[in-house]
Amino acid sequence: MPSKKTQTDSDGLDQRIIAARRERALREKTYRERALKIYPWICARCGREFEGKKLRELTVHHKDHNHENNPPDGGNWELLCIYCHDNEHTRYLDQEWYDDEPPGKEQAPLSTHKPFAALEALIKDDKE
């Protein structure tokens, strides 16, 4: 039988977890409702349209992956279906694993060689 102190500590932890989950759900509900008012109910990646009961499959994705960054204009959000949202987070985790540039950021070109850079000058020389 667990001691009285262990049971009390466990109950306190359970209550904090429940409160944290409730607070998170309320916060998510707030920005989700705002995003659904701002943006059309279409997945920004695959273009599927949502309405009625299927609307629950449309999620709010934070572009910078910071769930605390919820500007009033929705500039950090995009609506993604659950499948595209899962794919986006998988890509982000892969990027962290391989230490590459984050998805969506501009990457420098792999090659700086420009084979036709002087072509116009060569053509002019031949014509003269």
The answer to the question of residue 18 being in a domain is no
The answer to the question of residue 20 being in a domain is no
Residues 62 and 23: their CA atoms lie apart, in Å, by 18
pTM of the model: 0.54
The answer to the question of residue 16 being in a domain is no
Instruction: Give per-residue pLDDT as tens, 57-78.
Output: 999 999 988 888 988 889 999 9
Q: Which two structure tokens, joined as six digits, stand for 120?
A: 């116009």
Predicted pLDDT at 60? 93
Predicted pLDDT at 43? 95
Name the residue range of residue 63's domain: 25-104
The answer to the question of residue 110 being in a domain is no
**DSSP 8-state class, residue 62:** E
**DSSP 8-state class, residue 40:** -
The answer to the question of residue 19 being in a domain is no
- Domains contained in the chain, number: 1
The answer to the question of residue 122 being in a domain is no
Higher pLDDT, 44 or 125: 44
Query: What does the pLDDT average to over 74-88?
Result: 92
The answer to the question of residue 67 being in a domain is yes
The answer to the question of residue 1 being in a domain is no
